[in-house]
Amino acid sequence: MAQQQENGRINGFSKLGKAERRQWLLDTFLPDQSAGDFCYFDAASEDLQRVLDNFSENTVANFPLPFGVAPNVVVNGRTYAVPMVIEESSVVAAASSSAKYWSTRGGFQTEVIASEKLGQLHFRWSGRPGRRAALLPALERRLRDASSGLTARMEARGGGLRGMQWKHLPEVHPQCYQLLVRFGTADSMGANFINTVLEAYAGELERWAASSDALQADEREVEVIMAILSNHTPNCAVRAAVSCPIEKMNIPGSGVDAADFVRRFQLAVEIARQDPYRAVTHNKGIMNGIDAVVLATGNDFRAVEAAAHAFAAEDGQYRSLSRCRVVDEVFHFELTVPLALGTVGGLTRLHPLASLSLDLLGRPGAEELMGIAAATGLAQNFAALRSLVTTGIQRGHMKMHLQNILASLEASVPERRQTTEFFAGRTVSHHGVRQYLEKLRGVEMKKSADELR
Ligand code: MEV
């Protein structure tokens, strides 16, 4: 049974039912709210609610995010309507507009460079580092055999163990070692598979140390520290690229000609390659596109983010993930990014909207999805830079911002139309929009709690 304590603490919160959890939160932290503030977001179907509740722990509500679509994304000659889950306004609009622009200029070309995942088994060992080369082949055979029951199905799908290295980490401790294991995980992201196999290796490593005839008495001490996949996946990477003769790179309404646009664009990318402060923002824009696809397809965006940023700092300095060059009057823009994605397993089938997203994309394999996500990231990056080096980013943002303000002030359709016309070319602010609406309505409007704060 849960025990309420002083100072907002509680024992056994997870044991409470959902209604009790909500009530405890209301009583303890939310005196002005009611259970309705949580219930409002409940799924209409009990089955769906059960599915969602099973994804996580201590659940008290659902947290909806917009699910949008960027149509006209042409990747390797095939046209996709790309599902995107993101809360930031303008991102889907930017991806859509960029995708449409490139759809008439050859579309995106993508290529999976490699699709290998890594796992690590760390341990302390009493042997000498120089003995590893002699011992590894037999140890590897033994680990392979011990995990054959776990890897058989993955091997049938084209994945499985691809090899291993035995590393010494003297900078951590003179007896610290790592087995760095390479895996293929076919169409799954593979985290569960890799972790399960590594934990089996850990047990077998201990048995090997205790029983192998190849080891001498002073080589038998093994202490497993940890076994876990690595989210650093530089060998599971994809390249997305666009190219077009400069003369066809016109940007209507931008006020700059094609050659000038390309010159400014190229400089903007080079700034992000050389300056980490700009590179982080630049890459954030790329991840706006990639994360939205990763989320929509039920993949792990934290893993993708961590891997992308490690990759961006590969040579010791954080740099832009995309590159731009002009060769013989042709503009080339490309993005290389590690993307450990799956189209089977995990949430990809369990979350009904992730499954629908994959249906929308024609049930791609993992490598095809890597290409689609990378193309969306490049589309996003192109759109951001196109605005930044021409009109500035705020013009597009403010259009969306205005619509959000109008929604929060419950503007009617005619009020929206009139206000949008009025603010075209004017600076948008919450206060300004409120004042304009008050004038239209001829009444002073009550301020919300947020506005009064
Ligand atoms: C905003 O979410 C993303 C941008 O800042 C990206 C960029 O500056 O390249 C617009």
Q: Is residue 44 in some structural domain? A: yes
Residues 388, 400 share a domain? no
The Å distance, Cα 271 to ligand 1 centre, comes to 14
| Cα gap 377→240, rounded to integer Å | 9
Query: What is the Cα gyration radius of the chain?
Result: 27
| Residue 181: closest CA among 151, 212, 220, 210 | 151
Catalytic-residue membership of 284: yes
Q: Is residue 60 in some structural domain? A: no
| Residue 108: closest CA among 238, 4, 233 | 238
Residues 297, 262 share a domain? yes
Judge if the beta carbon of residue 124 lies within 6 A of ligand 1. no
pLDDT value, residue 449:
60
Prediction pTM value: 0.90
The Å distance, Cα 384 to ligand 1 centre, comes to 6
pLDDT value, residue 284:
98
Tokens of 361: 């994309």
Q: Which residues contact 40 (CB under 8 A, 6 or more apart)?
A: none
Residue nearest to atom 10 of ligand 1 (CA): 384
Of 20, 27, 88, 221, the catalytic one is 88
| Cα 106 to chain centroid, rounded | 26
The Å distance, Cα 369 to ligand 1 centre, comes to 23
Write the Ramachandran bin of 51: left for phi over 0, alpha for psi from -120 to 50, otherwise beta.
Answer: alpha
Residues 243, 355 share a domain? yes
**How many domains does the structure of the chain reveal?**
4
Residues 360, 255 share a domain? yes
Residues 244, 199 share a domain? no
Residues 303, 202 share a domain? no
Residues 95, 26 share a domain? no
Judge if the beta carbon of residue 122 lies within 6 A of ligand 1. no
C-beta of residue 312 within 8 angstroms of C-beta of residue 384: no
C-beta of residue 80 within 8 angstroms of C-beta of residue 99: no
Of 100, 309, 397, 430, the catalytic one is 397
Q: Is residue 81 in some structural domain? A: yes
pLDDT value, residue 255:
84
Of 140, 187, 199, 300, the catalytic one is 300
Residues 348, 249 share a domain? yes
Residue 347 burial (CB count, 10 A): 17
The Å distance, Cα 284 to ligand 1 centre, comes to 6
| Cα gap 82→330, rounded to integer Å | 27
Answer with the one of 175, 204, 230 that is the final residue of a domain.
Answer: 230
Q: Is residue 90 in some structural domain? A: yes
Residue nearest to atom 9 of ligand 1 (CA): 282
pLDDT value, residue 352:
96
Residues 353, 332 share a domain? yes
C-beta of residue 336 within 8 angstroms of C-beta of residue 307: no
C-beta of residue 341 within 8 angstroms of C-beta of residue 371: no
C-beta of residue 199 within 8 angstroms of C-beta of residue 229: no
DSSP 8-state secondary structure symbol assigned to residue 343: S
Judge if the beta carbon of residue 43 lies within 6 A of ligand 1. no
pLDDT tens digits in sequence order for the chain, 453 residues long: 666 677 899 999 999 999 999 999 999 999 999 999 999 999 999 999 999 999 999 999 999 999 999 999 999 999 999 999 999 989 999 999 999 999 999 999 999 999 999 999 999 999 999 999 999 999 999 999 999 999 999 999 999 999 999 999 999 999 999 999 999 999 999 999 999 999 999 999 999 999 999 999 999 999 999 999 999 999 999 999 999 999 999 998 888 999 999 999 999 999 999 999 999 999 999 999 999 999 999 999 999 999 999 999 999 999 999 999 999 999 999 999 999 999 999 899 899 999 999 999 999 999 999 999 999 999 999 999 999 999 887 776 777 788 888 988 999 999 999 999 998 878 888 899 999 999 999 988 877 666 666
Residue 313 burial (CB count, 10 A): 12
Judge if the beta carbon of residue 384 lies within 6 A of ligand 1. yes
| Cα gap 406→419, rounded to integer Å | 8
The Å distance, Cα 280 to ligand 1 centre, comes to 9
Give the CA angle between residues 190, 192, 196 to the nearest 5°.
120
C-beta of residue 308 within 8 angstroms of C-beta of residue 287: yes
Tokens of 393: 């980013």
| Residue 382: closest CA among 71, 119, 97 | 97
180 DSSP β-pair partners? 120, 165
Judge if the beta carbon of residue 393 lies within 6 A of ligand 1. yes
Q: Is residue 408 in some structural domain? A: yes
| Residue bearing tokens 């832009």 | 320
Q: Is 334 strand, coil or helix?
A: strand
Judge if the beta carbon of residue 284 lies within 6 A of ligand 1. yes
By most ligand atoms within 8 Å of CB, the mutation choice from 393, 395, 397 for ligand 1 is 393
Catalytic-residue membership of 88: yes
How buried is 98 (Cβ within 10 angstroms: 0-12 exposed, 13-18 middle, 19+ buried)?
A: buried
Catalytic-residue membership of 32: no
Answer positive or negative: Cα dihedral of 42, 48, 54, 55: negative
C-beta of residue 322 within 8 angstroms of C-beta of residue 335: yes
Residues 40, 185 share a domain? no
Residues 151, 223 share a domain? yes
Answer with the one of 208, 230, 252 that is the final residue of a domain.
Answer: 230
Catalytic-residue membership of 399: no
Q: Is residue 320 in some structural domain? A: yes
323 DSSP β-pair partners? 334
| Cα gap 213→416, rounded to integer Å | 81
Q: What is the CATH number of the domain that holds 332?
A: 3.90.770.10
Q: Is residue 61 in some structural domain? A: no
Q: Is residue 80 in some structural domain? A: yes
DSSP 8-state secondary structure symbol assigned to residue 188: B
pLDDT value, residue 446:
75
Residue nearest to atom 7 of ligand 1 (CA): 282
Residue 259 burial (CB count, 10 A): 14
By most ligand atoms within 8 Å of CB, the mutation choice from 288, 381, 386, 391 for ligand 1 is 288
Residues 137, 248 share a domain? no
Residue nearest to atom 6 of ligand 1 (CA): 285
Answer with the one of 369, 392, 415 that is the final residue of a domain.
Answer: 392
| Domain enclosing residue 374, as ranges | 74-111+239-392
pLDDT value, residue 451:
64
Q: What is the CATH number of the domain that holds 195?
A: 3.30.70.420
CA trace torsion 38, 43, 47, 52 (10° rounding): -70
